[in-house]
């Protein structure tokens, strides 16, 4: 995938909801001669010749452990096999990070969807309502409890990731565990009972002590570690005073557009190391910097 | 709350994340003389004199079944008591709908947050990973498994709700179960592995056979039945041909701005009955209609 492109975005499969909802059609899809199965190594991707590795579906395959990812451009069903043990695995592995530059963008997105779904199934063999066993249904897009009949659906966890903006500068921060010099946009999960905009205001206040208003949405990205929906926003800060939550944020500072541009370009004298293009924070910073008045060039 | 206002938005409590994260502070908050407990009747709100009913926290109250909703304007902690049995209760009751016009907007939002959280706890006494018992921690903002130690967090399910737009008209549709004449924006859950914009495109294609592009975000709303985050968008339709998924959508049609305005105003001769202002679909329709060129008045 092109180096500059946002990761896990641009899936091309037809998710074929009508097949999922019909057990007979789902079984036919699994048994069809063109059906293929995405190969994973645990939760990691497996590639071959610059593509995700796919294999024919085994003749004894069952919908008990196969999830229909969708139909490809030639209407061939693509499945992924569900795993019994996935561990916690909430963070990307080196292998899952590496593929973003090795395979086409739509395949990165396909891997991301598969990873989230396989992870979710692996963490949900039991019913949260009654503690009994659950099993997949709807071609892997739900699980049902064999005892209390409760239906459970894959999670998607909305996360706000945002820049506070103040007089031509934006706030970037870093967590204690990050590599030295690495800064990004602040982020946090949207909680029950709040809008996207309210979540942005709460998180920036909690983490940096900054009050923002006039929050605007910029873009979104699925982040499959394990199943976030990143919602990128910019808010106007009332002032530039910082009061960091030092358990979460090790350091934060206001950076001007020249500094952000230098960081995105990976310059040695940049004021910080920016997230790579696979991450939405990179594009959020770029979106902001592109909208600032460009500094006069040498000949201006 | 004012009749024209979006529901469940505008909560005023400080969610006080730092107290949740510290068991000693959470216990102190529960024991503090000013602490109050939001009263629910099952999952329904209870009101008195135009406000949500709050009671002092019982002297023997425990964090095993009390969740810290936050601190009020006077820094007094507000809790809600967790319930053992909540049933499925995925839809609003008449009582939960009625309060939106009876109490201030911020209290409607507080009720919404409380309902989502109490519902989630009631549906998660067991660990989805191993089937053992879980118990609340972080002042009710998580549950932990006593056997495998897995941590579980309240769900927020992102939902896209959207209008397709084509040559001055927008698409409204109705489900089979809705009251006669009632139409709204189409909607569906965001799935793992897709952006907000991709979810909008997929859902409109699935439900109405319409291909949209240039999707733009308009606004969001928490919808506490049981815990959705409604993400309202508008997309440009490539054409106006419809191919309805008749299992989901009973009827849909393209409506011009005059028709939308008449519906929002509740006029008797309007082409459809619109959702009430508590619902984000109402404001999405209004946002779209307000942006259309107004028809010439009698004196124009």
Answer with the one of A81, A108, A123 that is the final residue of a domain: A123
Q: Do B50 and B172 belong to one domain?
A: no
CB atoms within 10 A of CB A87: 11
Report which secondary-structure segment, H or E, holds A164. strand A157-166
Is B41 a domain residue?
Answer: yes
What would the pLDDT profile of B150-178 be if each residue is shown by its tens digit?
A: 999 999 999 999 999 999 999 999 999 99
Residue with tokens 């698409």: B171
Considering the domain architecture, whether residues A173 and A96 belong to the same structural domain is answered as no
Q: Does A21 touch chain B (CB under 8 A)?
A: yes
Judge whether A291 is closer than 8 Å to chain B, CB to CB: no
CA angle B53, B58, B105 (to 5 degrees): 25
**In this complex, do A194 and B113 lie within 8 Å of one another by their Cβ atoms?**
yes
Instruction: Decide: A259 and A250 in contact? Cβ < 8 Å.
Output: no
Kind and range of the H or E run holding B202: helix B196-208
Judge whether A250 lies within some domain: yes
Say yes or no: A84 and A166 in one domain: no
Q: Are B113 and B21 found together in one domain?
A: yes
Q: Is B11 at the interface with chain A, CB within 8 A?
A: yes
Co-location of A30 and A113 in the same domain: yes
CATH number, domain of B134, equals: 3.90.79.20
Residues B186 and B127 both lie in one domain: no
pLDDT tens digit sequence for A157-190: 999 999 999 999 999 999 999 999 999 999 999 9
Domain identity same for B54 and B128? yes
Asked if A173 and A233 sit in the same domain, the reply is yes
Looking at every residue in chain B, the average pLDDT score rounds to: 95
Contact call for A125 and B126, based on CB within 8 A = no
B127 and B237 share one domain = no
Please indicate, yes or no, whether residues B132 and B174 belong to a single structural domain of this protein: no
Query: Do residues A237 and A212 make contact, with C-beta atoms less than 8 angstroms apart?
Result: yes
pLDDT value, residue B296: 64
- Cβ distance B193 to A109 less than 8 Å, yes or no, reads yes
* Partner-chain contact A126 B128, CB within 8 Å: yes
Of the three residues A97, A123, A149, the one that is the final residue of a domain is A123
B278 touches chain A (CB under 8 A): no
* Tens digits of pLDDT across chain B (300 residues): 777 899 999 999 999 999 999 999 999 999 999 999 999 999 999 999 999 999 999 999 999 999 999 999 999 999 999 998 888 889 999 999 899 889 999 999 999 999 999 999 999 999 999 999 999 999 999 999 999 999 999 999 999 999 999 999 999 999 999 999 999 999 999 999 999 999 999 999 999 999 999 999 999 999 999 999 999 999 999 999 999 999 999 999 999 999 999 999 999 999 999 999 999 999 999 999 999 976 566 654
Chain centroid offset of residue B7 CA: 8
Contacts of B251 (CB under 8 A, 6+ apart): B173, B174, B183, B244
Residue A192: CATH number of its domain: 3.90.79.10
Q: Which of A123, A148, A178 is the endpoint of a domain?
A: A123
Residue A11 CB-half CA count within 13 A:
28
Same domain, B143 and B167: no
Mean pLDDT of A68-88: 94
Question: Structural domain tally of chain A?
Answer: 2
- Looking at CA atoms only, how far is residue A130 from chain B in angstroms? 6
Q: What is the pLDDT of residue B101?
A: 87
Using an 8 Å Cβ cutoff, are A277 and A3 in contact? yes
| Contact with chain A for residue B174, Cβ under 8 A | no
Buried b (16+ CB within 10 A) or exposed e, B140-175: bbebebeeeebebebbbbbbbbbbbbbeebbbbbbe
Q: Is residue B4 situated within a structural domain? A: no
Tell whether B7 is covered by a domain.
no
Is B219 inside a domain boundary? Answer: yes
Domain that holds residue B21: 17-152
**Domain-located, residue A11:** no
Shared-domain flag, residues B54 and B104: yes
- Please indicate whether, in this complex, the C-beta atoms of A18 and B245 are within 8 angstroms of each other: yes
Strand partners, B235: B164
Structure tokens at A158: 């909305």
Interface of B with A in 186-205 (CB under 8 A): 189-198, 202
- Position A129 in a domain: no
Burial of B298 (0-12, 13-18, 19+ CB in 10 A): exposed
Could you tell me if residue B190 is inside a domain?
Answer: yes
Please state, in angstroms and rounded to a whole number, the distance separating the CA atoms of residues B54 and B204: 43
């Amino acid at each position: 995938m092109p180096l500059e492109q946002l990761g896990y975005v641009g899936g091309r499969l037809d998710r074929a909801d009508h097949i999922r909802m019909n057990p007979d059609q789902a079984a036919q899809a699994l048994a069809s001669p063109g059906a293929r199965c995405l190969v994973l190594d645990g939760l990691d991707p497996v590639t071959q010749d610059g593509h995700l590795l796919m294999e024919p579906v085994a003749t004894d395959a069952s919908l008990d452990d196969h999830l229909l990812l969708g139909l490809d451009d030639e209407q061939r069903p693509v499945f992924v096999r569900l795993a019994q043990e996935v561990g916690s695995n909430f963070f990307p592995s080196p292998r899952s990070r590496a593929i973003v530059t090795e395979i086409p963008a739509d395949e990165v997105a396909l891997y991301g969807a598969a990873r989230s779904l396989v992870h979710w199934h692996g963490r949900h063999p039991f019913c949260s309502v009654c503690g009994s066993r659950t099993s997949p249904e709807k071609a892997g897009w739900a699980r049902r409890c064999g005892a209390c009949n409760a239906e459970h659906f894959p999670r998607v966890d909305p996360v706000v990731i945002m820049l506070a903006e103040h007089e031509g500068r934006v706030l970037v921060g870093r967590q204690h565990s990050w590599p030295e010099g690495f800064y990004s946009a602040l982020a946090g999960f949207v909680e029950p009972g709040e809008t996207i905009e309210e979540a942005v205001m709460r998180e920036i206040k909690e983490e940096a002590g900054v009050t923002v208003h006039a929050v605007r949405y910029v873009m979104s990205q699925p982040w499959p570690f394990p199943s976030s929906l990143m919602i990128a926003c910019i808010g106007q800060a009332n002032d530039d005073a910082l009061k960091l939550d030092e358990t979460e944020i090790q350091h934060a500072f206001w950076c001007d557009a020249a500094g952000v541009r230098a960081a995105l370009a990976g310059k040695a004298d940049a004021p910080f190391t920016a997230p790579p293009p696979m991450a939405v924070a990179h594009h959020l910073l770029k979106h902001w910097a592109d909208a600032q008045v460009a500094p006069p060039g040498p000949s201006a």
